Amino acid sequence: MHADSTPAGRLIALGQQLVEIHLWLLDELDQLRAGLDGAPPAGAGRPPADPDGRPPADPDGGPPAAGRLRSLRAHCLSFCSALTRHHTGEDAGAFRVLADEVPELRPVLDRLTQDHRMVDWIVRRIEALVADPPTDDPAALDRVRDELDGLGAILGSHFRYEERTLTAALDALGDRAGGTEELLGVEPPPDW
């Protein structure tokens, strides 16, 4: 999806890199939510239901919901880590540079930084819920789903606002500001 994969081409299109990272993160979040409903992660085969059509039991003998939470834990923690790296990278990288280069954006950058703190709070709650899911609490899956749904709503709004207000300014930075990972915390996956 990159228009130009050379370092200079990537830097000139830093705003597009931001959009690609956001699309990738939202896709990962969608996959997590689908996994809570029993869909396999992208590229994985779906486990067969038992003969009565019920979802397969947890391999450790617990209810299916606890098994799904345990199997999604690595994906969830990976997603949460990537999202946190992205926001931390923006705060320390792109936002710092933009505050210096385009001072009129400071109120926007302050608002986005506040959003990052709120998102981080939700991410920590999600990480706690999936870290050690209870095997005897059928509502555990619903709590994780509710948190992921809330996170999805906030990220959708946050990402749109950020893209609308910062894409042109990021593109204008060109190659003098640094690389994508340095400024945005992560690179979009190469196959994105």
Domain boundaries, the chain: 7-39+63-184
The pLDDT of residue 46 is 37
Residue 43 is predicted with a pLDDT of 46
The pLDDT of residue 51 is 38
pLDDT, residue 32, reads 92
- What is the residue-level pLDDT of the chain in tens, covering all 192 positions? 444 445 544 445 899 999 999 999 999 999 999 988 776 555 443 343 343 444 444 444 444 666 677 778 888 999 999 999 999 999 999 999 999 999 999 999 999 999 999 999 999 999 998 887 766 677 888 899 999 999 999 999 999 999 999 999 999 987 778 889 999 999 988 876
- pLDDT number for residue 74: 87
C-alpha to C-alpha distances, 156 to 5, 26, 55, 112, 190, nearest whole angstrom:
27, 8, 31, 13, 23
Q: Which CATH superfamily is domain 7-39+63-184 in?
A: nmb1532 protein domain like (1.20.120.520)
Residue where the block lists tokens 């930075």: 173
Which residue has 């990402």 as its token pair? 159
Alpha helices in 51-90 (DSSP H): 64-89
Distance of CA 23 to the CA centre of its chain: 9
pLDDT at 100: 96
Region of 99 please: left (phi>0), alpha (psi -120 to 50) or beta.
alpha
Token couple for 182:
């340095």
pLDDT score, position 58: 44
Q: Is the alpha carbon torsion for 173, 174, 175, 178 positive or negative? A: positive
CA distances from 69 to 130, 146, 177 (A): 6, 13, 41
The enclosing H or E element of 189 equals: none
Give pLDDT, residue 67: 67
